[in-house]
Amino acid sequence: MENIRIKRRLEQFRKLMEENNIDFYYITTADYHNSEYADDFFKEREFMSGFTGSNGNLLIEKDRAGLWTDGRYFIQAENELEGTGITLFKMAEPSVPTTREYLKENMKEGQTLALDGRTVTLNFGKELDKLIEEKKGSLVYEIDLVDTIWEERPGRKSETVFALPEEICGKTVEEKLEEVRKKMEEKEASNLVLSKLDDIMWLFNIRGGDVECNPVALSYAVITKDNSYLFLQKQAVTEEIRQWLEKQSVELKEYDEINNFLKESNFSGKVLADGANLSFTLYKLLQQRNEIILSDNPTEGLKAAKNPVELEQMRQVYLKDSLVVCRFMKWLKENIGKEPVTELSAAEYMDNLRRQTEGFLDLSFPTICGYKENAAMMHYKATEESHKELSAEGMLLIDCGGQYLGGTTDVTRTYALGEVTKEMKEHFTAVVMGMLRLLNGKFLYGCSGRNLDILARGPLWEMGIDYKCGTGHGIGYVLNVHEGPQNIRWKYLEGMKEVPLEEGMVLSNEPGVYIAGSHGIRIENIMVTKKDILNTDGQFMSFECLTFAPIDLELISTSMMEKRDIKNLNEYHKQVYEKISPMMTDEERQWLKEVCREI
């Protein structure tokens, strides 16, 4: 079936390209801050391609167009791109070129590539610069051609900025600035330009609401040896926050003034810039006047290792959030087949439970609720137009989380709604075995996620099954549900960071099985890296679990499990009962006891 809406937009756009002598136009998913999720204002790639996933880049040519996305979205992208004429490029699959390789292969001498330099990173822009030089072509980066044809483009968000209560921050702005400046000194930099929104929020102990589900404000920051400048949208700043920032000796500036500030202000000395996050446009501005030291943002590692106050808040928040998941499971199990439930209404039920929870601010991402084969799409989103009705058979996958004053949560469970196949049980059991083996893993300090990934993935690999994504990601504190630098992945990818897991780093642990057209399973717990025993062999590390929600025993095939897998599961369920039952009614408690029974 032809997708006329997208085809027409492409046609219109290609006319513009021709008028501007552009041969290739590159559209990313990013906002001006390389945020993982961008607000609607920034969704040019979605507007032009129809693909709604959270990662993907579109390259438009005169006669062709290609969309690159990662393993989470292969199935979804195939569906959404149908009839658009856009080719899907599966990232990281063998023999699939990267965008840069594609351009290298297909760009002819003297051709022109255009893109909005605010939406690509310094590192990527520099690579393109090099490529263009080889091709003797032109790179146009101060352009936004999509804006011209996007008539109903949404406005840029500017929600009110607020300060986090000091008692839940663990560190003051002053203390954080001191730590950051120390790291700057180590790298011999006098200045730091920050454009990564969650890093800026963390540093100034503030939050905003300009990106769906991410409590961040559109902002920039410049830290010099003596001053700190924070750039916020005027409409986002109340008198209260203005005064509060003044007390922290932070100089407030207007968001759109960043370019002029970098051009004109008189800060001198070397500038630290994070090549993976700073935009190409800002880089070009800095390049004109300062020596640039390319390095990770010092804020990144500091933010990732949560302090004791943050961790204590998170423990409490995860208990409340786990109670939500328990209640959802009870409702689902008791009502399925009795009242009409759809993927949408199930998600809505979960979201409402969360909304009623004390301290709730927002969802941490749009709830994913996939029934049967829909769950095989890792980041499936049910819509009013397209969703399934649930019945008393097969499995339901629900991946959800909340933003609370005190922490960001993320949890996935997969439930049997009735009869399931033997294969589904085997897949489910292997996923649970892997999740619990990683959760109970013990390792020497110095290990990164690359060393540990096989603990979770091993039981599936033994069955000849893989999941096309990482096992875990870092998680923010009242911030983005995905944050770095830590992660749990096995594959070496160019440009990826590999850092040791440090005390206090919070990670998801979410192996899964995705059988296209049949079923999807994912179980996700969140865990904190902690110090274990220290002896002459070194500092051992292990994980503390934050998530306490039952794992559906109806899907467990005990015969597949090793002794320790059974022990892991029983011990986990014992903890679930001990931690969650005190918050429950008698009736709920009885139910919980049953679903957490020993096997």
Residues engaged in binding a copy of itself (CB under 8 A): 441-444, 446-448, 450-455, 458, 461-462, 464-466, 468, 490-492, 498, 532-533, 535, 537-538, 540, 562-564
CB 414 within 8 Å of CB 440: no
What is the length of the chain?
Answer: 599
Cα 231 to the chain's mean position, in Å? 24
The amino acid at 225: K
CB of 535 to a copy of itself, least distance (A): 6
CB of 295 to a copy of itself, least distance (A): 17
Determine which helix (DSSP H) or strand (DSSP E) holds 7, and give its type and residue range.
helix 4-19
CB of 108 to a copy of itself, least distance (A): 23
Residue 305: partners with Cβ closer than 8 Å, 6 or more residues away:
502, 503, 504, 505
CB of 450 to a copy of itself, least distance (A): 6
String of DSSP letters for 184-211: HHHTT-SEEEE--HHHHHHHHTEE--SB
Q: Angle formed by the axes of helices 422-439 and 449-461, to 10°?
A: 160
Residues 474, 467: Cα–Cα separation, whole Å: 18
* Residue 36 φ then ψ, to 5°: -65, -45
CB of 378 to a copy of itself, least distance (A): 14
Specify the residue, 407 or 434, whose C-beta has the smaller distance to a copy of itself: 434
Specify the residue, 57 or 429, whose C-beta has the smaller distance to a copy of itself: 429
Cα–Cα distances in angstroms (integers) from residue 501 to residues 2, 175, 180, in the given order? 48, 23, 20
Specify the residue, 19 or 537, whose C-beta has the smaller distance to a copy of itself: 537
Specify the residue, 163 or 447, whose C-beta has the smaller distance to a copy of itself: 447
Specify the residue, 80 or 453, whose C-beta has the smaller distance to a copy of itself: 453
CB of 452 to a copy of itself, least distance (A): 7
Specify the residue, 278 or 545, whose C-beta has the smaller distance to a copy of itself: 545
3-state SS class at 278:
coil
Specify the residue, 392 or 533, whose C-beta has the smaller distance to a copy of itself: 533
Cα–Cα distances in angstroms (integers) from residue 235 to residues 158, 217, 409, in the given order? 6, 11, 29
CB of 196 to a copy of itself, least distance (A): 25
Specify the residue, 532 or 588, whose C-beta has the smaller distance to a copy of itself: 532
CB of 267 to a copy of itself, least distance (A): 29
Residue (of 515, 392, 388, 507) closest to 452 by Cα position: 507
3-state SS class at 126:
helix
Q: Is the peptide bond before 308 cis (omega within 30 degrees of 0)?
A: no
Angle 78-83-86 from CA coordinates, rounded to 5°: 65
Specify the residue, 254 or 562, whose C-beta has the smaller distance to a copy of itself: 562
Specify the residue, 327 or 457, whose C-beta has the smaller distance to a copy of itself: 457
Q: Is the peptide bond before 298 cis (omega within 30 degrees of 0)?
A: no
Residues 524, 508: Cα–Cα separation, whole Å: 7
Specify the residue, 160 or 542, whose C-beta has the smaller distance to a copy of itself: 542
**DSSP E strands, 246-367:** 251-254, 271-273, 292-294, 360-363
CB of 294 to a copy of itself, least distance (A): 19
Within 10 angstroms of residue 320's Cβ, the number of other Cβ atoms is 20
Specify the residue, 155 or 517, whose C-beta has the smaller distance to a copy of itself: 517
The amino acid at 95: S
Residues 522, 378: Cα–Cα separation, whole Å: 9
3-state SS class at 479:
coil
CB of 494 to a copy of itself, least distance (A): 13
CB of 469 to a copy of itself, least distance (A): 12
3-state SS class at 132:
helix
Specify the residue, 68 or 443, whose C-beta has the smaller distance to a copy of itself: 443
Q: Angle formed by the axes of helices 308-335 and 563-580, to 10°?
A: 100
CB of 44 to a copy of itself, least distance (A): 33
Q: What share of the chain is helix, strand, coil (3-state, %, to 5)?
A: 40, 20, 40
Specify the residue, 85 or 458, whose C-beta has the smaller distance to a copy of itself: 458
Sign for the pseudo-dihedral over CA of 117, 119, 123, 129 = negative
String of DSSP letters for 435-450: HHHHHT-EEETT--HH
CB of 462 to a copy of itself, least distance (A): 5
CB 17 within 8 Å of CB 94: no
CB of 454 to a copy of itself, least distance (A): 6
Which DSSP letter does residue 507 get?
Answer: E
Determine which helix (DSSP H) or strand (DSSP E) holds 95, and give its type and residue range.
none
